[in-house]
Amino acid sequence: MFQHTIAELSQLLQSKSISSVALTRAYIERCESLDTELNCFITLTPELALQQAKAADDRIQSGTSEALTGIPIAHKDIFCSKNIKTSCGSKMLDNFVAPYDATVVERLANAGMVTLGKTNMDEFAMGSSNETSFYGPALNPWDKQRVPGGSSGGSASAVAARLVAGATGTDTGGSIRQPAAMCGITGLKPTYGRVSRYGMIAYASSLDQGGPLTQTAEDAAMLLSTMAGFDERDSTSVDRPVDNYNSELTNKLDGIKIGLPKEFFNQNLDSDIGDNINSAIKILKECGAVFKEIELPNSHLSIPAYYVVAPAECSSNLERYDGVRYGYRCEDPKDLADLYCRSRGESFGEEVKRRIMIGTYVLSSGYYDAYYLQAQKIRRLIRDDFQQAFNDVDIILGPTTPTTAFKLNENMDDPVSMYLSDIYTVSANLAGLPGISIPSGFSNGLPVGMQLMGNYFQESKLLNIAHQYQLQTDWHKQIPGEFKES
């Protein structure tokens, strides 16, 4: 049953062909059996899951269920979950049990979804490989010697290995789309403000956005329909009606204009991935899409701008972890300064420390104008490039990553190479635009992802194109051989 999508499981549950309790118990057993090989989960919650599954079956029997009722899901361990450890992949929060649910967790639970547990992630979402986690790296189910991508690597790996039908993630510079590409699944980053950030532990507040990781675009549409919407508890939440994302999936692509940024198809792109994306373009042409080369002239500045803005915001956000109110506290501090220094020094990992130091530097007196202010100006130029492009095209298409999943420890001593794995994704975060990565094939046995980016609140259009492509291909149906059902 683990090959079923969320949409298919919904039909089986609503028709009472299976029960949520039976389905949940099967997923729990699968996670307990196989996650020792992948390290996808930081915390499993079998007792809670079975309680929620029983309640879901009762709702289905009473006729008050929704489309997602009874379906198991996993949450990235950046979302606060009431009475469950919420660690953000860090030693700093290894002992933190959240007293409330994040809005995303709350909305999916209210829809009747079943929480299997909390997934592994780069510490405080800072990383592109899931190797900065205090709990060790999650592994890629296609090759356990390789990374699943990050920071939502645990969620992506779990969905790819069919340990769960869908999972939540967050995307600050590509942290949903990049691991989705490396694990061969679908990952959607919504428009900034479309999904509430309340209860989502902050890394870079003007960039972070929650979204779904699933097998298919249809599943992503189902989850987004519940996750999205205004939340008065989040000052960045946009008060705008939520589209019926599933209703537009069947629209034909005749005449839709898709832009191909010439900056995305250069020497930085692995030739196999370039060939793969060109094959996908041919399929979309056969579906009626029209293609046009476009320019995003400031896109090469995305990485340097991002790695000024994001660390600056992280430096501010992580100031709250001081060893006083909650989280890790060092033993026997001499005074308040010693408490601060040792609590942070002993509990933050190297990448988090690096970004805090960079952020503090670029915000400091004498450097703010030279670095942070300039980065914000570049951010506006990048946004303007996209708006100019969307005057000519409906959607922008390109690769999600410049390479397939790299080996464990391959880039850990080379931060710049690690950062460049997000070269095609960070611009959407800087501009606040939606983007989706979908499986488009394989290179040397490893998944390749194709990225679609749209104008603000155009998630329906992205999901429509992704769904139509998936109707013509079966890349999204592929399961790593070791994790296929026997």
Strand bridging mode 166-170 / 114-119: unpaired
- Strands (E) in 378-479, as ranges, are 395-399, 435-443, 446-454
Q: How confident is the model at residue 1, as a pLDDT? A: 82
3-state secondary structure the chain: CCCCCHHHHHHHHHCCCCCHHHHHHHHHHHHHHHHHHHCCEEEECHHHHHHHHHHHHHHHHHCCCCCCCCCEEEEECCECCCCCECCCCCHHHCCCECCCCCHHHHHHHHCCCEEEEEECCCHHHCCCCCCCCCCCCCCECCECCECCCCCCHHHHHHHHCCCCCEEEEECCCCCCHHHHHHHCCEEEECCCCCECCCCECCCCCCCCCEEEEECCHHHHHHHHHHHECCCCCCCCCCCCCCCCHHHHCCCCCCCCEEEEEHHHCCCCCCHHHHHHHHHHHHHHHHCCCEEEEECCCCHHHHHHHHHHHHHHHHHHHHHHCCCCCCCCCCCCCCCHHHHHHHHHHHHCCHHHHHHHHHHHHHHCCCCHHHHHHHHHHHHHHHHHHHHHHCCCCCEEEEECCCCCCCECCCCCCCHHHHHHHHCCCHHHHHHCCCEEEEEEEEECCEEEEEEEEECCCCHHHHHHHHHHHHHHCCHHHCCCHHHCCC
Looking at CATH, the fold of the domain delimited by 6-253+435-483 is given as: Amidase signature (AS) enzymes (3.90.1300)
Q: How confident is the model at residue 486, as a pLDDT? A: 47
Catalytic hit among 76, 118, 189, 461: 76
What's the average pLDDT block by block, 10 residues per block, for the chain (486 residues)? 95 97 98 97 98 98 97 98 98 97 98 98 97 98 97 98 98 98 98 98 97 98 98 97 95 97 90 95 98 96 96 96 94 95 96 96 91 96 98 98 95 85 96 98 97 98 98 97 80
Active site residue 151: yes
Q: How confident is the model at residue 468, as a pLDDT? A: 98
Active site residue 460: no
Instruction: Calculate Rg over the CA atoms of the chain.
Output: 21
Domains of the chain, by residue range, sit at 6-253+435-483
Residue 302 tokens, joined: 């995305």
Catalytic hit among 151, 237, 299, 460: 151
Q: How confident is the model at residue 366, as a pLDDT? A: 87
Catalytic hit among 87, 157, 175, 196: 175
Q: How confident is the model at residue 360, as a pLDDT? A: 95
Active site residue 175: yes
Q: How confident is the model at residue 85, as a pLDDT? A: 97
